[in-house]
A = this chain, B = another copy of it.
Amino acid sequence: MNMTQPLSSCSNCGLHELCIPTDLSADDLKRLDQLVYARRKLCRGEELYRAGDQFGAIYSIRSGSFKKEVALEDGRQQVIDFLMSGDVLGMDGIGTDRYSCNAVALEDSVVCVIPFVRLEAISREVRGLQHQFHRVMGREMVRHQAVKMLLGGARAGERVAAFLLTLSRRFEERGYSASEFILRMNREDIGSFLGIQLETVSRVLSQFHRDNLVAVMQKYIRILNAPGLRHVAGSMGEAQPATTAKALLAVSLPAHQDTKRAASKVSALGA
């Protein structure tokens, strides 16, 4: 399945805020509808683009979700991002005219195809679009930064906690439940993304479950104690505006023998 449907209309797209569109005059809106060349539907596992492909368009995710990954040539893949509806895919190709990773659908998904020359042309005329596009790129960079911080400074438990909280917030932003959701990716992908082994992901989730932070049933996740999770995540928890707090906890007890650091933090909080 790889069909491209012609229908397209940005002006009434539900993604508004999240995607490229923004508040514009009626006249500008007409222009905006020229942005999207087509829609494209992808089945689970299908690739939207591959590393090395000629760059030509960016894609706004209309429904579904994706992972971005880079091949390590020993066959293994390193996951570098997870994206969901409203997110923009393909900006990794802008810098070099070739995509720098593979974009793979995690479930059946639909994207809007936005030819980049067209985006540049229209954003030269429609100031609001120009600014919005820059903001989208800017936010993507900040997201990358946040992940770098996580990978650079956090233990396994903190990584997983921050990961769950980020997912939670992103689902909420899209109108879904913040406390209950289905993971679209498997443990291996999560581990790859977080820089830990899939076994470690599993262990940490089990520990969280035991501590009543989250209910875990395979891919189904229910967050039971968000403040507790944020506590475990420490500084990396939710840094949408600027920075949060880790600090205070760093002083806490040196963690007992067979219990994970995560657990000790939690018990200190009182689940």
Q: Chain A interface (Cβ within 8 Å of chain B)?
A: 51-52, 70-75, 78-81, 91-96, 98, 100-101, 120, 123-125, 127, 130-131, 134-142, 144-145, 147-149, 151-153, 192-195, 235, 241-248, 250
Interface of A is mostly: helix
**Smallest CB separation, A89 vs chain B (Å):** 12
Bound CA span A192–B140, Å? 22
Considering the complex, give the chain B residue whose CB is closest to the CB of A133: B134
Distance in angstroms between the alpha carbons of A94 and B143 in the assembled complex: 12
**Which of A130, A131, A243 has the largest number of chain B CB atoms within 10 A?**
A243
Q: Are B141 and A70 in contact (CB under 8 A)?
A: no
A35 to B235, CA, bound (A): 37
Q: Are A244 and B73 in contact (CB under 8 A)?
A: yes
CB distance from A97 to the nearest CB of B (A): 8
Is the beta-carbon distance between B139 and A96 smaller than 8 angstroms?
yes
Provide the bound-state CA to CA distance between A96 and B145, in Å.
Answer: 14
User: CB within 8 A of A140: which of B51, B131, B136, B141?
Assistant: B141
